[in-house]
Amino acid sequence: MIRPLRPSVLLFACLMSLAGGVLALDAEAVDDGEGSDSLRAQATAIRKAAEREFKHTEAACYDRFRVNACLDDAREARTVQLQAARKLEARANRIDRGERIKAMEARLKEAEERRARPMPVPLLPAPAKP
C-alpha cells in the first residue's frame, strides 16, 4: 500500500522549490548589476512572505494530529526562505561597501593631488617704516 505524502512534506517541497527560484533570481541580480536598494527590497519581500506563510501554516498545524512535526517542517521552510533573504542582504551590503570604498579612494586621490600642487605664497608688501 502506498502512503500518501503528508501535507507538511508537500509544503516543504514547494517552499524548497521557491527558495531555489529565489537563489536563481539572486544569481541573475549579480549579472544584471542591480543596485543594493532593489536587492534589499527583494529580501524584505521574501522575509514578509516567509513570515506570512509561517503564520498561516502554524495556525493550520494546530488542527493536525502531529502538531510538533508540522511546526518543525514549517520552521524549517521559513528558515530556508530567511537564508535566501540573508544572502540577498549580504550581497547588497557588499555592493554598498564597494561603493563606499570607491568614494573614499576618490577623496584620497583628490587630497593627494591637492598636496602635490605647489601652494602659491602670497607676496605681502614690506611694512612701512615710521
Residue 87 grid cell: 544572502
Q: Which domain holds residue 43?
A: 7-111
Instruction: Supply the pTM of this predicted model.
Output: 0.59
Does residue 119 sit within a domain? no
Residue carrying the nine cell digits 547588497: 92
Contact 16, 24 (CB under 8 A): no
Per-residue pLDDT in tens (0 to 9) along the chain, 130 residues:
455 555 555 556 665 666 565 545 544 444 445 789 999 999 999 999 999 999 999 999 999 889 999 999 999 999 999 999 999 999 999 999 999 999 999 999 999 999 998 888 788 887 888 7
- Judge whether 79 lies within some domain: yes
36: which 3 cell numbers? 543594493
pLDDT at residue 30, rounded to an integer:
46
Count of domains in the chain? 1
d(CA 59, CA 128): 94
Indicate whether 26 belongs to any domain.
yes
